[in-house]
Structure 1
Amino acid sequence: MELEDLGYNDTVAQSMAGYNLDGLEPGRVVAEHRERYIVRTAAGEFDAEILGNLRFSAKGREDFPAVGDWVALSIYDSDFAIIHRILPRFSLLSRQAVGQFGEVQIIAANVDCAFLVQAIDRDFSINRFERYLTVCHSSSVSPVIVLTKTDLIDQSKKTELIELVKSRISDVPVIAVSNKTLDGYEDVKKLVERGKSYCMLGSSGVGKSTLLNNLAGKTVMRTDEISNSSNRGRHVTTHRELIVLESGGIVIDNPGMREFGIADSSFGLETAFDNIINFAQECKYNDCTHTNEKGCAVIDAVEKGKIDSDSYENYLKMERERAHFASTVAERRKKGKDLAKTIKSFKKNSMRIAT
């Protein structure tokens, strides 16, 4: 396999040259297993660990490799390598780590486009699409909405759902597919380009792995049978993995994620809810929270039906979530600085006592 099949381009090559990484090989992280990585290079796949200095200098999860990262590594034998540096990323999809306030979980790196996948069953939620869109926009990743399991409904219902999505979300492609009849797959395949990287985001059981298998034309990710009680596929994907399609595209499959917390995505919110932001510019006060202020153009637009009320409530919820995350991060950083000052002062006093 050529490096170009993994997405290697002039930008990655310039990064290798710019960091003076002579003697090291470029490779792309295709899987991660508890800080052990599988990296694919022009010479093949290698189990890899990160260099000790890289580990100890890391300030957060973002400083560790993630699936999709380009890295510079040294190869020691036929199947083992050491990662020396993570090359600059052009995009990074992340969310709040579940149950860890102020922490970030990396979803994938260097992604060009994200397929936002939902099935048309009882878990269908446009609010969830808006949440995914916020993360995509904040990460400079182009989104595409994919509705699956359309063979469960008739054509009129499918058209109704597509129009419902488009009424709240503009300027984002919406594709309806059936994993059973393969209806709509040609529209998805037209979007997949050689050397470009794609990521699938969606809850467990919506058909992401089946979608990937059908795009690949063979089984590359294991799927499970549909549950009779819930009409949903059982959770199978347990880790993130990068797959190179024969057509040339690169797809990262992810475990199902029911929780998708917003992490510092003010720009993403502004883009995902541009209609609300446009009305917000007409508010009487610059610091309007759009909740109960007199002269709020957003509230007025909601009351007049110019802004969808469900979208408005979803925006407020995510804005509160974003603000809470930002304040938690600030608090963690302050505690870290205070601890550093205490340690520095202790060391200084210890030196005085010693002399």
Structure 2
Amino acid sequence: MNLKELGYTDLIEETRKELQLEQFGIGRIVAEHKERYVVRAADGEYEAEITGNMRFTARSREDFPAVGDWVALTVFDADFAIIHQVLPRYSVLKRQAVSHSGEVQMIAANIDYAFLVQAVDRDFNLNRLERYLTISYSSNVSPIIVLTKTDLIDEQPITEITESINHRIKDVPVLAISNETRDGYEALNNVIEKGKTYCLLGSSGVGKSTLLNNLSGQNRMKTDAISKSTNKGRHVTSHRELTILENGGILIDNPGMREVGIADTTSGLETTFDDIMDLAQQCRFKDCTHTTEAGCAVLTAVEKGEIDQSAYENYMKMEREKNHFESTVAERRKKDKQFGKIVKDYKKKDMKNKGR
């Protein structure tokens, strides 16, 4: 396989040379299974593990490979390789790890566009869309909203949903499709460029796996129906996997996400809620919290109906989450630093005692 078909560019090659990694092979992570990886290279596909040194020096989960990463590797036999280094990423999609305060969960790396997928019959939620937008913008990934299952409702509700999106979310393409009838697929295929990498983000049961199967022309991912008892999607996709589509685009599927925690997303929030951020510059006080202050331009705009009340409430909720995440990370780093100092002092004291 030609590496360019996997998204390899001249810039990545220049980076590889700058890091003096020419003696290693090069490949892209196409799947991950509990710290064992599948890497696709020009001469084939390999199961791979990272070196012990990479594992030992990793400071956080972000230092481990993720689906979409380009890695330097050594092939040892027909189907096994060792990963020596992850090449610098130009984008990283991530969210706050579920049930692990202050930790980040990697979604995928080196993504150009994110398809934000919601089903119009049951899943549609503007607040969740703004969350996906925020993590996309903070990761330097361009979002595209995809509304699925249009065959299950009438045209008028679809128009109303599209209008509600355009009212709150500006300058983001909105595509409405049916995985059953393939309506809207022509427009969707037109936005997928050869050699560019796309990622599917959405809850379980919105049709991501069926969408991937249809675009790839293969039955790559198992699909399932919505649970009749809960009306919620089942987690069909159990891992992230990179697939090359029929038209040359590259698509990464993801397990459904019911929680989209905000992590380190100042720039993301500023872009998603740019109208609120612009108004914030007009507030009487520079440290305005936009809650109760007199002279708050944001609150005034909400009262006048210039800013949607739900958008304002969603922004405030995510801002609190961001601040909590950042304070948790800062506290963890402080504790790690203190622990490191204790260990260092203990070792120094131990060496003195041994020298007596």
- Normalising TM by the smaller chain, what interval? over 0.9
Q: Give the structure 1 partner of residue 101 of structure 2.
A: 101
Deviation sequence 1:26-62 (CA, Å, 0-9, x none): 1000000010000000010000000111111100000
1:336 aligns with 2:356: no
Aligned residues of 2:121 and 2:153 also touching (Cα < 8 A) = no
**1:255 equivalent in alignment to 2:266:** no
1:188-227 matches, within 5 Å, as: 188-227=188-227
Q: Which amino acid aligns with 2:200?
A: M
Instruction: Determine if the alignment matches structure 1 residue 246 to structure 2 residue 261.
Output: no
Quick check: 1:152 aligned with 2:177? no
Cα root mean square deviation, aligned:
1.1
Report what 1:7 is aligned to: 7
1:132 alignment counterpart = 132
Deviation string, structure 1 residues 85-133 (Cα, Å, up to 9, x no partner): 0001000000000000010000000000000000012331000000000
Paired residue type of 1:235:
H
How far off its partner does 1:228 sit? 3.9
How many Å separate the matches in 2 of 1:189 and 1:5? Answer: 17
Q: Give 1:230 deviation, angstroms.
A: 5.3
- SS state of the match for residue 191, structure 2? coil
> TM-score w.r.t. structure 1 length?
0.98
Q: Could you tell me how far 1:231 is from its partner in structure 2?
A: 5.5
The answer (yes or no) to whether the contact 2:123–2:206 under 8 Å persists in 1 is no
3-state SS of 2:77 partner: coil
Contact 1:207/1:233 (8 A) holds in 2:
no
SS of aligned partner of 1:326: helix
TM-score by length of 2: 0.98
SS of the residue corresponding to residue 107 of structure 1 reads strand
Q: Structure 2 counterpart of 1:41, which letter?
A: A
For residue 64 of structure 1, what is the aligned residue in structure 2? 64
User: What displacement does 1:350 show?
Assistant: 1.5
Q: Percent sequence identity over matched residues?
A: 63
Deviation at 1:246, TM superposition (A): 2.1
5+ long unaligned stretches in structure 1 = none
Cα shift readout 1:279-329 (whole Å, capped 9, x = no counterpart) = 111000111111111111000000000000000000000000000000000
Q: Give the structure 2 partner of residue 318 of structure 1.
A: 318
* 2:94–2:105 contact (8 Å) kept in structure 1: yes
Q: CA deviation at 1:23?
A: 2.2
Flag the 1:64–1:167 CA change in 2: closer, same or farther, 3 A.
same
- Structure 2, gaps ≥5 residues long: none
Q: The residue matched to 2:243 in structure 1 has which SS? A: strand
Is the CA contact 1:206–1:232 (under 8 Å) kept in the aligned structure 2? no
Structure 1: distance between partners of 2:145 and 2:230:
23
Deviation at 1:234, TM superposition (A): 3.1
Number of equivalenced pairs: 355
Tell me how far apart the structure 2 counterparts of residues 325 and 347 of structure 1 sit (CA, whole Å).
Answer: 33
Choose 6-15 or 221-230, whichever is displaced more: 221-230
Larger mean CA deviation between 73-82 and 217-226 belongs to: 217-226
Deviation at 1:227, TM superposition (A): 3.7
For 2:332 and 2:225, the matched residues in 1 are separated by 44
